[in-house]
Amino acid sequence: MSEAIDNHVKIFDTTLRDGEQSPRIALSPAEKLEIANQLNRFGVDIIEAGFPITSEGDFAAVQAIAREVEGPAICALARTQSEDIQRAYDSIRDSEHPRIHTFISTSEIHMTHQLHASEEDVKGQARAAVAIARSLVDDVQFSPMDATRANIDFTAEVIQIALDEGATTINIPDTVGSAQPHEYGELIQRLYERVPDLHKVVLSVHCHNDLGLAVANSLEGVRQGARQIEGTINGIGERAGNTALEEIVVAIKTRADHYGLSTSVILSEIARTSRLVSRLTGYVIQPNKAIVGSNAFKHESGIHQDGVLKERTTYEIIDPATLGFDDPNIALGKHSGRHAVRNFLEQHDAFEPNYFRQVFKRFKEIADHTKGVSPELMLLIAEDVQRREECSYRLSHFGVESSSDSKQATVRVVLPGGSEQTIIADPSHYHELDGPIDALFTAISRATDTDYELMCYTLTPMSSGQEAVGEVRVILNVNGQNIIGRSISTDTLEASAWAYLDALHQAATDNKSANSSC
Ligand code: KIV
Ligand code: ZN
């Protein structure tokens, strides 16, 4: 590892350049400016704002960022051609800290098939490009593209030329994301040995994620002495993307014991920055993505929930609140235990000791059939259990048959006095039945000896999937007053029957629900 280097790592954000090169991302100048302002709040050291020669729009965006965003260095990318470098300069010249980043490939594959250039040509182009850039600005970054697949001696020679011409940062790209962490670390180490002048400038790492190793490779690079890390928010970028900067800065902070390094970023801005980039690029973040995924800090298994509720650090290495996330860290689902459910209900003032056993049983039945139980659904479950327990009617059996030429419902209801009433409603005994719900409600109204007009019936899904939980809400007209009944179930007919009984119970009690309409 290089000696005499300090422990501060610069964060070079290329969300607006390499990140924007992702398929289907095209940010307007205004959107790029909005992201750049947020990157500034996040505290990155350098913003690579674009590749100005590629389009008028990109030029305008880089120029607007250079003019408006104060604090970080504003960098523009350029190939080695002089027009590229001039265009890059024109876009950033108004920045307080302008940087030009110029690059040329040093790998045999690129030189032969893409550049059609000899080693001498590449050396000459690198020399001229850095010299021109350096005549325009003090801060010049040079990258030997595809360095991880290039001959190291040739790359070292080109780097030495760039340094001789005044480059202030040398960036080592793993352009195709093929390097393994130990190989990438070794490359950095060997370049320091071959080019001792590298100790006088900042060495930077730039990794792609084709093998899922961009973050690991970058961290290995800084372990070997690099002091600038390039990457993007949410890891967006060409193909499988770039180093995810949020992962880098949190790893450096969380494992300071291991790296002994620091950055200038403000960790509490991570949530806001990540969400903004996701929203404006349209790139949805996978739920289990490290640091910024919606599940990155959630515990679903009962054992983990129990541990975290007793002491957060049993299963958490990061407090999401320090990154600006405020979602609850407990996700209720089929693996959750009593402790987590009870804790959730207590936090929401919905814990009722007399009914907790039934609430937990209902929760488990529902969680087994749905994809996670949202906080809203959990509260509905607790409320529904209490409503059913306190209902003066009990549904002990129901069955509905419905076909194109026959509708029939059977219900057995325990009445307030304790007697049981069984009714079969079919068209031969009653009016024409419109459908299964009509048959069911007709049977219940006969069994309970009531005859109220149904004013409204709504069914609202409370979860997704084939066995989604539905909430049924009915309104009965009881002597001119609208009385609401509600219930939930994965079985719509069961929820409907209980909602109807709930309304009958409300009608018979003093604390009736307020008048309501559909
Ligand atoms: O991946 C790469 O090689 C690049 C260069 C322009 C630095 O993005
Ligand atoms: Zn790249």
**Per-residue pLDDT tens digits for 134-153:** 999 999 999 999 999 999 99
- Cα 107 to Cα 130, 164, 176, 214, 237: the distances in Å are 19, 21, 11, 20, 21
* 236-270 core/surface letters (b: 16 or more CB in 10 A; e: else): bbbeebbbbbbbbbbbbbeeeeebebebebebebb
Region of poorest pLDDT, from 139-153, 225-239, 413-427: 413-427
Q: To test ligand 1's pocket by mutation, which of 143, 228, 242 has the most ligand atoms within 8 angstroms of CB?
A: 143
CATH topology of domain 10-281: TIM Barrel (3.20.20)
- Give the number of the atom of ligand 1 that is nearest the alpha carbon of residue 242: 1
Residue 161 backbone phi and psi in degrees, to 5? -60, -45
Q: What percent of the chain has pLDDT over 70?
A: 95
Mean pLDDT (whole number) for 492-501: 97
8 Å CB contact between 341 and 363: yes
pLDDT above 80: residue 237: yes
Summarize pLDDT for 463-487 with one digit per residue, the tens. Answer: 877 778 999 999 999 988 889 999 9
User: What pLDDT, on a 0 to 100 scale, did the predictor assign at position 425?
Assistant: 83
Mean pLDDT (whole number) for 120-131: 98
User: What pLDDT, on a 0 to 100 scale, did the predictor assign at position 408?
Assistant: 84
Please tell me the number of the ligand nearest to residue 173's CA. Answer: 1
120, 114, 97: which is closest to 47 by C-alpha?
A: 97
Q: Does ligand 1 come within 6 angstroms of the Cβ of 446?
A: no
Reading the block at residue 138, the tokens are: 């003090």
Q: Does ligand 1 come within 6 angstroms of the Cβ of 172?
A: no
- Give the number of the atom of ligand 1 that is nearest the alpha carbon of residue 21: 8
**What gap in Å lies between CA 390 and CA 392, rounded to an integer?**
6
Q: Does ligand 1 come within 6 angstroms of the Cβ of 142?
A: no
CA 297, 301, 307, 309 torsion-angle sign: positive
DSSP 8: B
The alpha carbon of 433 is separated from its chain's Cα centroid by a whole number of angstroms, namely 49
CA of residue 147 to ligand 1 center, whole Å:
10
Among protein residues, the one with the nearest Cα to ligand 1's atom 1 is 175
DSSP 53: G
Q: Does ligand 1 come within 6 angstroms of the Cβ of 145?
A: yes
Mean pLDDT (whole number) for 38-64: 97
Residue 165 backbone phi and psi in degrees, to 5? -85, 0
Among protein residues, the one with the nearest Cα to ligand 1's atom 3 is 175
Q: Does ligand 1 come within 6 angstroms of the Cβ of 143?
A: yes
User: What pLDDT, on a 0 to 100 scale, did the predictor assign at position 515?
Assistant: 55
pLDDT above 70: residue 510: no
* Helix, strand, coil abundance in the chain, percent, nearest 5: 45, 20, 35
Summarize pLDDT for 105-116 with one digit per residue, the tens. Answer: 999 999 999 999
Q: Is the pTM of this model over 0.85?
A: no
Give all strands of the β-sheet with 420-425 in edge-to-edge order: 394-403, 406-414, 420-425
Q: What percent of the chain has pLDDT over 90?
A: 85
**What gap in Å lies between CA 405 and CA 145, rounded to an integer?**
74
Q: What is the CATH number of domain 392-508?
A: 3.30.160.270
Q: Does ligand 1 come within 6 angstroms of the Cβ of 206?
A: yes
CA of residue 171 to ligand 2 center, whole Å:
11
DSSP 330: B
On average, the pLDDT of the chain sits at 93
Summarize pLDDT for 320-362 with one digit per residue, the tens. Answer: 999 999 887 889 999 999 999 999 999 999 999 999 999 999 9
Please tell me the number of the ligand nearest to residue 148's CA. Answer: 1
Q: Does ligand 1 come within 6 angstroms of the Cβ of 175?
A: yes
**What gap in Å lies between CA 279 and CA 292, rounded to an integer?**
13
Alpha-carbon torsion, ordered 22, 24, 28, 30, to 10 deg? -70
CA of residue 403 to ligand 2 center, whole Å:
63
- Cα 156 to Cα 128, 169, 221, 315, 456: the distances in Å are 17, 14, 16, 45, 78
CA of residue 256 to ligand 2 center, whole Å:
27
CA of residue 22 to ligand 1 center, whole Å:
13
Q: Return the axis-axis angle of helices 270-281 and 29-42, rounded to nearest 10°.
A: 170
- Please give the full DSSP string across 435-489, using - where no structure is assigned: SHHHHHHHHHHHHTT---EEEEEEEEE-S-STT--EEEEEEEEETTEEEEEEEEE
**What gap in Å lies between CA 475 and CA 454, rounded to an integer?**
6
Summarize pLDDT for 359-387 with one digit per residue, the tens. Answer: 999 999 999 888 889 988 999 999 999 99
Backbone Cα Rg of the chain: 33
User: What pLDDT, on a 0 to 100 scale, did the predictor assign at position 369?
Assistant: 85
Collapsing DSSP to helix, strand or coil, 378 comes out as helix
Residue 424 host element (H or E): strand 420-425
pLDDT above 60: residue 1: no
Q: Which residue has the tokens 């010249």?
A: 93
Q: Does ligand 1 come within 6 angstroms of the Cβ of 76?
A: no
Amino acid at 169: T
Among protein residues, the one with the nearest Cα to ligand 1's atom 2 is 175
Query: Which pLDDT band, with edges at 50, 70 and 90, does 429 fall under?
Result: low
The domain limits of the chain are 10-281, 297-324, 330-389, 392-508
CA of residue 437 to ligand 2 center, whole Å:
61
